[in-house]
Structure 1
Amino acid sequence: MGVIVEQFPLYVQGFLQTVRICILAAVGSLILGTILAAFRVSPVPPLRAVGAAWVTVFRNTPLAVVLFAVAFGLPELGINGSYFWFGVAGLTLYTAAFVCEAVRSGINSVSAGQAEAARAMGLTFSQSLSLIVLPQAFRTVVPPLGSVIIAMIKNSAIVGAFGVGGDLFAVGVQLTSAQGYAAAGVLTGVLLGYLILTIPAGIVLARLERKLAVAR
């Protein structure tokens, strides 16, 4: 435990970098996943095909392979950037597939009469989805979305293995490999950092779930 005290500023730096990765990936995956869910329930066949293909590919591909494809494939296409942004992009693309399925399940749980009433009022598909269906769907998908986000936080450790730099994973590698600290103490600090992220996230999501349940 002495390493945690001695290297506390470094742990804080790694923690903040991990928080940054998680926030960016969470926002990106929630937006992209919702768009993909809209594609999956769209009356336009090509959009449904895109949504289904995305989910099939990314849900059945290991995150490490996705990160390799983004980090080494995009530069070959002329898209250059830092490993930090490649890592965030890979985590976002991967997590969006799971967000999509969670949101789609919420959309399917909304009574079909809601959409029919919206069409009777003259609303388009996109209007009825954004104004009527999605607000109700999101109330029902807090638990699965919460599980997806918590899994994403844990998956950020894999992103750190791809040279993002400065995150909790990188701190662990630096202290054990470069500075020679015992692995047990170093990894205890890394573990505590991730627990500080995941446990409060679970508590907040549980309270949000109860609040929305009362609202329903």
Structure 2
Amino acid sequence: MDFFASSAGPIAQALGTTILLAVSAGIGSIVLGTLVTAARISPVPVLRWAAFAYVQFFVNVPLLVLLVLAVFALPDAGFLLPLTPTAIIVLTLYEAAYVAEAVRSGVNTVSRGEIEASRALGFSLGQTLRVLVIPQSLRAAIQPIGNVMIALTMNTALAAAVGVVELTSAANKLNLVEAQPILIFTAAGLIYMVLALAIGLTAGRLEKKLRIRR
């Protein structure tokens, strides 16, 4: 157990990177996913098709492939970014597709009568989406979005494959030195479990607090 004490600093730093990836990409994916949902339900055909193509692309392409392409192909095209911001951007784009599907499922909970009432009051489409549809959809989709955030936290481990020193990468480096794979990766798994439980509990509390009672 002494090697855990001696490696506490690097592990804590790597855990901080994992949390940075999860929080940054989480916020970004919720914002982008909500915008994609708005485009999916827009009366403008071009926006609907673009949003549909976006979701289908990112849902059907493995995250690891996207990370590898972003890290190794974009520099050849002249786009140079540090590894961590690159991973955050890819995670945001990828998870936004799943957030969009979760929020779109929440759109179905908004009654047609409420939408028609907003039109009768003279609301424009943008106002109806901003004031009525999107807020209610987000409230109805809290638990699904929470599940996406848990998946996002687990997916941050894939950033290790492209050189980002996060929790999985730090655990692997520690194992190469100490040769204690069961102990080290069990500890890493428990940390991921704690993060997932924290997200799940937070989503559950938010759902109870913000639940729409009809």
TM-score range for the pair, normalised by the shorter chain length: over 0.9
Q: Deviations over 1:22-67 (max 9, x none)?
A: 1110011001100100010000000001110011111111111111
- 1:215 positional shift: 5.6
**Greater alpha carbon shift after TM alignment, 3-12 vs 33-42:** 3-12
Match of 1:102 in 2: 102
Match runs of 1:106-145 below 5 Å: 106-145=106-145
Which residue among 195, 198, 212 is the counterpart of 1:197?
195
Q: What are the ranges of 5 or more consecutive residues in structure 1 without an aligned counterpart?
A: none
**Greater alpha carbon shift after TM alignment, 36-45 vs 206-215:** 206-215
Match of 1:155 in 2: 155
**Greater alpha carbon shift after TM alignment, 5-14 vs 22-31:** 5-14
Q: Is the counterpart of residue 174 in structure 1 residue 169 in structure 2? A: no
> Which letter maps to 2:173?
Q
Fraction of identical pairs, as percent: 37
CA pair 214-35 structure 1, distance change in 2 beyond 3 A: closer
Give the superposed CA RMSD: 1.6
What is the TM-score normalised by the length of structure 2?
0.93
| 1:25–1:92 CA contact under 8 A, matched in 2 | yes
Q: Is the counterpart of residue 61 in structure 1 residue 61 in structure 2? A: yes
Say how many residue pairs are matched. 214
Match of 2:186 in 1: 188
- 1:150 positional shift: 0.4
Match runs of 1:31-70 below 5 Å: 31-70=31-70
CA distance in 1, matches of 2:11, 2:104: 38
- 1:188 positional shift: 2.2
